[in-house]
Amino acid sequence: MKDTNKYLRKKVLVLGLAKSGVMSASLLHKLGAFVTVNDMKPLSENPEAQGLLEQGIKVICGSHPIELLDEGFELIVKNPGIPYRNPLVSGAIEQGIPVITEVELAAQISKAPFIGITGTNGKTTTTTLIFEMLKEGGKLPLIAGNIGTVASGVAQEAEPNNTIVIELSSFQLMGIVDFKPEISVLTNLYDAHLDYHSSKHEYAEAKAAITKNQTVEDYFIYNMDQEIVSEIASRSKAISVPFSSASVCKNGAYVEDGYVIFQGERIVRVCEIALPGKHNLENVLAATAASKLKGVSNEAIQQVLATFHGVKHRTQYIATIEGRKFYNDSKATNILAASKALQSFKEPVILLAGGLDRGNEFDELKPYLANVKGLISFGQTAEKIERVAREAGIQEIKRVDNVEEAVPAAYALSSEGDVILLSPACASWDQYKTFEVRGDMFINAVHKLG
């Protein structure tokens, strides 16, 4: 990592632990800062805090005492999940104390350039595709952020011949100062995280921060099919590289005559791409653009796209059993995500859906149920989803207790050539700790069936 005296003998507060907080505290301690860690979880239940204490780092656990602001901190490194309305955070900002997220630390110490990816949907798939394409092309990428390892941990090991491919949330981007990717990607923007952000505008501006420090020597890859994203591109100083699944954009990535094309060059046939769905085609276009800008060969891109079946829990192909294809889309925790998954398939679908009841109805899902021949429902929202299915004309509807029971029930309703799709349109917390646990239960049940 780069040598820096930036934090030598400076008083820094790390607010909130989890992986990013632990890494930030350890790194700052290594750089000679006087570090204090503050976390809500009591010390007796907090092995991460106990480990930092053993390193000689001051630890305060169990609450966020406002009195910490009287200790003369020169910087706060905030866990991205802690909102800016938190009294400690808002109080620090009022006092003029800089508040950053761990990504900013990574940028300050990294010898390697960054490719940064953000957006409402498609971040993880696009990040993974870029990483795999660069790896296949011999470009020595490293992967970081919300996917993979904490960015400041990766940055400590990175060399100039590496490229750090990093997925970035709006929460992380609100805490950057000088972070500047050489290539940034904005996949799309929809309403999201409005419980964290004060408005849709604040959310959009947080996403736009990915390009705010870019210069005329950098690249901004963006979804030109969305007006709000195009407006952000018009403000960027970077070289704009659009992508579109609906229009021809000669200076970017697009689809024409059955090919993915980048700046006029045919890269791969659309029919050779393993990932299903229009939304995944957009991810492919963004990833192809980034990879071509890094000098990856068409052959390397073709190899990845022919064999990449998706990120785990995101329209992930699992198996084909007696002519039925099984897909795990447990990450579809809302109606928008489930509708995109349903649009990915032309085959008849047996849909597995249901979960935590957040008080909403599911009528917005109805237009996307045309090729759903059967529904297996579960969880708190089972009755609501069943109502919408009946109104959409779906005849075969069965309620089960959980995802494990849903798999054999779906198989019993299916025929050769059908798709059996877990795309719950709901969070998992009524029955499962995380959507990952729910997805793993589905995968296990499919393998048992096989």
Closest CA to 154 of 103, 188, 118: 103
Instruction: Give dist(CA 250, CA 107) in Å, integer.
Output: 32
> What does DSSP assign to residue 369?
-
User: So what's the pLDDT on residue 194?
Assistant: 60
Q: Give the count of domains, the chain.
A: 3
Terminal-residue alpha carbon distance, the chain: 48
Instruction: Give dist(CA 52, CA 64) in Å, integer.
Output: 18
Do the beta carbons of residue 318 and residue 308 sit within 8 Å?
no
> What does DSSP assign to residue 140?
-
Cβ-Cβ contacts under 8 Å for 393 (sequence gap 6 or more): none
Can you tell me whether residue 276 is helix, strand or coil?
Answer: coil
For residue 192, pLDDT beyond 60: no
Closest CA to 91 of 68, 62, 58: 68
User: Are both 337 and 203 inside the same structural domain?
Assistant: no
- By DSSP bridging, strand 372-377 and strand 396-399 are parallel
Q: Is residue 4 part of a domain?
A: no
For residue 141, pLDDT beyond 80: yes
Cβ-Cβ contacts under 8 Å for 171 (sequence gap 6 or more): 80, 81, 101, 193, 196, 206
Residue 250's Cβ-count burial label (10 Å; 0-12, 13-18, 19+) is: exposed
Tell me whether residue 4 is annotated as binding. Answer: no
User: Are both 68 and 131 inside the same structural domain?
Assistant: no
For residue 450, pLDDT beyond 90: no
Closest CA to 130 of 356, 300, 260: 300
Q: Is residue 88 part of a domain?
A: yes
Tell me whether residue 122 is annotated as binding. Answer: yes
User: Are both 85 and 112 inside the same structural domain?
Assistant: no
Tell me whether residue 149 is annotated as binding. Answer: no
Instruction: Give dist(CA 290, CA 294) in Å, integer.
Output: 6
Last residue of a domain, one of 289, 307, 325: 307
For residue 287, pLDDT beyond 70: yes
**Tell me, what CATH number does 120's domain have?**
3.40.1190.10
Q: Rounded to the nearest 10 degrees, what angle do helices 123-136 and 298-307 cross at?
A: 130
Q: Is residue 1 part of a domain?
A: no
Tell me whether residue 119 is annotated as binding. Answer: yes
229 is written with which tokens?
């994203």
Q: Is residue 63 part of a domain?
A: yes
User: Are both 203 and 95 inside the same structural domain?
Assistant: no
Residue 97: pLDDT band (50, 70, 90) is: very high
Instruction: Give dist(CA 200, CA 108) in Å, integer.
Output: 30
**pLDDT averaged over the chain?**
95
Q: Is residue 2 part of a domain?
A: no
User: Are both 82 and 172 inside the same structural domain?
Assistant: no
Instruction: Give dist(CA 401, CA 385) in Å, integer.
Output: 15
Angle at 267 between CA 265 and CA 270, to 5 degrees: 125
Taking the model in full, what pTM does it have? 0.85
Tell me whether residue 163 is annotated as binding. Answer: no
398 is written with which tokens?
């069965």
Cβ-Cβ contacts under 8 Å for 227 (sequence gap 6 or more): none
**Tell me, what CATH number does 89's domain have?**
3.40.50.720
Give residue-wise pLDDT tens across range 214-261: 999 999 999 999 999 999 999 999 999 999 999 999 999 999 999 999
User: Are both 227 and 332 inside the same structural domain?
Assistant: no
User: So what's the pLDDT on residue 429?
Assistant: 94
Q: Does 277 or 268 have the greater pLDDT score?
A: 268
Residue 348's Cβ-count burial label (10 Å; 0-12, 13-18, 19+) is: middle
For residue 193, pLDDT beyond 70: no
Tell me how crowded residue 334 is: count the other CB atoms within 10 A of its CB.
18
User: Are both 333 and 300 inside the same structural domain?
Assistant: no
User: What percent of the chain has a predicted confidence (pLDDT) above 70?
Assistant: 98
Do the beta carbons of residue 150 and residue 102 sit within 8 Å?
yes
Tell me whether residue 124 is annotated as binding. Answer: yes
Instruction: Give dist(CA 215, CA 442) in Å, integer.
Output: 46
User: Are both 116 and 94 inside the same structural domain?
Assistant: no
The torsion angles phi and psi of 160, rounded to 5 degrees, stand at -60, -25
Tell me whether residue 123 is annotated as binding. Answer: yes
Give residue-wise pLDDT tens across range 103-128: 999 999 999 999 999 998 899 999 99
Instruction: Give dist(CA 10, CA 108) in Å, integer.
Output: 16
Give residue-wise pLDDT tens across range 400-446: 999 999 999 999 999 999 999 999 999 999 999 999 999 999 999 99
> Could you list the residue range(s) of the whole structural domain that residue 39 is in?
11-100
